[in-house]
């Protein structure tokens, strides 16, 4: 009996220990504000941009380097931060250790979906299977973590009047990301956009991403990269922050500073945080993310990473810590807050705002693969050797015949049936089109100076290919683990043990 009582005491102590270390509660949105989904307290983002670049040549994914994460996140916790923004990850890597370290530090993640290799290019925009597949894989890799706060579908993509057409392609990615999350994730993870605040198009951008009858085509939050407040001589009124606050007064979703921290005056003392988290802005804004964590060539760092992988604090770190220390906005409770503001009205097309309100369809790997099986003339190994070869090949063939089937016009809202395929697939389709319809299947017309080759088609035609769809659910991906899931399984195991012991007694 004594032995049983000893076991019971140990089990109770273990259960108490487990329940005392709670996982971070997921953050949810109601109207214009973020809230803790459990405590129902309003959540303000106190964040930092986190994308170390100079420490290692392969450091493109900062959330795959556990030792660096533990070093940095402990310092962030001391600073009083609760959010990081990461611009680029590799979804094929394991992120459990870093996400656990982040969770242990009480910090949430805001993550950009696109990477330089697979992104919507503002001057020549298109939305293809590579962009969508990369974005979908990133969502799948991170959506199970409880401290996954939100995803950005774009960062300053349309950044002036000459690049506005690119926004319709971003809106297509937004629609697909939200739809995928809705069918694959256990909870609704917000998806938003970060804007550069160009004076000519800021109102249009703000309205465009928050207008549509379909919720899936509207962002859940809006970020503004704002560097107008420079130095301690600047004020809330003279910085432009007061005007930006007025701009969003009637906006229906949360808005925060997705980047801030002008470095025109060094060291930075961050006087703006008193307005961001104080009476000037806290009722309208949801916080901000200072740029950036590590010292890089652009001289914005809060810490300097040394050759031995230790971190040295810069004056900016201590100044930010001092500025943030007295600021603890309370906000409102979720249950007492009423969401009354309506989505925006879509902006009219003008010479300075040209994107269509009709986005392209969801890219489909199945459609492109099906089309490729119908071709008798395709791009050769020579063509596929470099991206430059593919680009030159497309320029050449599209100067010889119509490329409407692979083209995408974000201004008119007209998209070719294979406009979402990968560049080499588009080139293959056009070589085959020319070979079949212009060259009358003369072997000499499937050459293009060695850039094309004859193959045996697996399908007679491409009929039905363009409408083939990929599944929208996550069929298989790396399942995230967390303190919550480990604690939960261990806790229930202890409950079983306690029950058994009680029966013995």
- Cα separations in angstroms, 463 against 160, 405, 414, 427, 467: 41, 14, 20, 19, 9
Q: Which of the residues 103, 126, 156, 354 is marked catalytic?
A: 156
The Cα–Cα gap between 225 and 107 comes to 21
155 burial (CB, 10 Å; 0-12 / 13-18 / 19+) is: buried
> Three-class SS of residue 428?
helix
DSSP class per residue in 106-149? T-EEEEE--BTTBS--TTS----HHHHHHHHHHHHHHTT-TTEE
Say whether 467 sits in a helix, a strand or coil.
helix
- How many other CB atoms sit within 10 Å of the CB of residue 474? 19
DSSP codes joined into one string, 10-61: HHHHHHHHHHHSPPPPPEEEETTEEEETTT-BEE-EEEEE----SS-TTTT-
55 catalytic, yes or no?
A: no
Token output for 127: 């939305």
Token pair of 300, please? 């914005």
Q: Which of 103, 126, 204, 259 is catalytic?
A: 259
Which two structure tokens, joined as six digits, stand for 116? 């330089």
The gap from C-alpha 50 to its chain's centroid, in whole angstroms, comes to: 13
- Is 6 in the active site? no
User: Distance of CA 23 to CAs 144, 145, 306, Å?
Assistant: 13, 10, 32
Phi/psi of residue 45, each to 5°?
Answer: -75, 120
The token duo for 348 is 């009219």
Q: Which residues are catalytic?
A: 156, 259
């Amino acid at each position: 009996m004594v032995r049983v009582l000893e076991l019971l005491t140990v089990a109770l102590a273990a259960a108490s220990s487990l329940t005392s270390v709670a996982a971070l509660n997921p953050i949810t949105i109601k109207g214009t504000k973020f809230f803790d989904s459990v405590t129902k307290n309003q959540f303000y983002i106190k964040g930092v941009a986190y994308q170390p670049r100079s420490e290692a040549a392969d450091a493109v994914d900062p959330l795959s380097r556990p030792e660096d994460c533990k070093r940095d996140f402990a310092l962030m916790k001391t600073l009083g931060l609760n959010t990081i923004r990461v611009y680029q990850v590799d979804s094929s890597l394991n992120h459990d250790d870093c996400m656990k370290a982040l969770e242990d530090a009480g910090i949430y993640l805001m993550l950009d979906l696109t990477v330089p290799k697979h992104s919507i290019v503002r001057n020549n925009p298109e939305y293809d299977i590579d962009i969508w597949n990369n974005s979908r894989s990133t969502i799948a890799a991170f959506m199970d973590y409880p401290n996954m706060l939100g995803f950005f579908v774009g960062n300053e993509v349309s950044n002036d009047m000459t690049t506005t057409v690119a926004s319709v392609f971003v809106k297509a990615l937004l629609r697909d990301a939200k739809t995928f999350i809705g069918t694959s994730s256990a909870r609704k993870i917000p998806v938003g956009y970060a804007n550069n605040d160009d004076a000519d198009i800021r109102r249009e951008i703000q309205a465009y991403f928050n207008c549509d009858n379909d919720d899936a085509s509207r962002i859940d939050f809006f970020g503004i990269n704002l560097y107008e407040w420079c130095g301690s001589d600047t004020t809330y009124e003279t910085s432009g922050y007061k005007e930006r606050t007025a701009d969003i007064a009637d906006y229906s979703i949360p808005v925060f500073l997705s980047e801030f921290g002008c470095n025109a005056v060094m060291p930075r003392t961050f006087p703006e945080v008193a307005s961001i988290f104080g009476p000037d802005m806290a009722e309208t804004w949801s916080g901000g993310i200072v740029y950036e964590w590590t010292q890089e060539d652009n001289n914005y760092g809060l810490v300097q990473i040394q050759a031995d992988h230790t971190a040295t604090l810069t004056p900016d770190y201590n100044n930010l810590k001092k500025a943030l220390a007295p600021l603890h906005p309370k906000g409102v409770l979720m249950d007492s807050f009423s969401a009354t503001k309506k989505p925006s009205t879509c902006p009219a097309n003008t010479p300075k705002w040209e994107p269509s309100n009709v986005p392209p369809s969801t890219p489909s790997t199945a459609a492109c693969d099906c089309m490729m099986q119908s071709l008798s003339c395709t791009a050769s190994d020579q063509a596929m050797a470099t991206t430059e070869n593919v680009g030159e090949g497309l320029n050449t063939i599209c100067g010889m015949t119509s490329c409407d089937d692979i083209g995408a016009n974000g201004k008119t809202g007209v998209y070719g049936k294979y406009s979402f395929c990968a560049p080499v697939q588009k080139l293959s389709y056009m070589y085959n089109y020319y070979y079949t319809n212009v060259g009358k299947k003369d072997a000499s017309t499937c050459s293009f100076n060695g850039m094309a080759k004859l193959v045996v088609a697996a399908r007679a035609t491409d009929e039905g290919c363009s409408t083939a769809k990929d599944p929208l659910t996550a069929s298989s991906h790396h399942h995230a683990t967390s303190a919550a899931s480990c604690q939960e399984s261990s806790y229930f195991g202890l409950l079983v043990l306690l029950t058994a012991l009680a029966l013995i007694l």
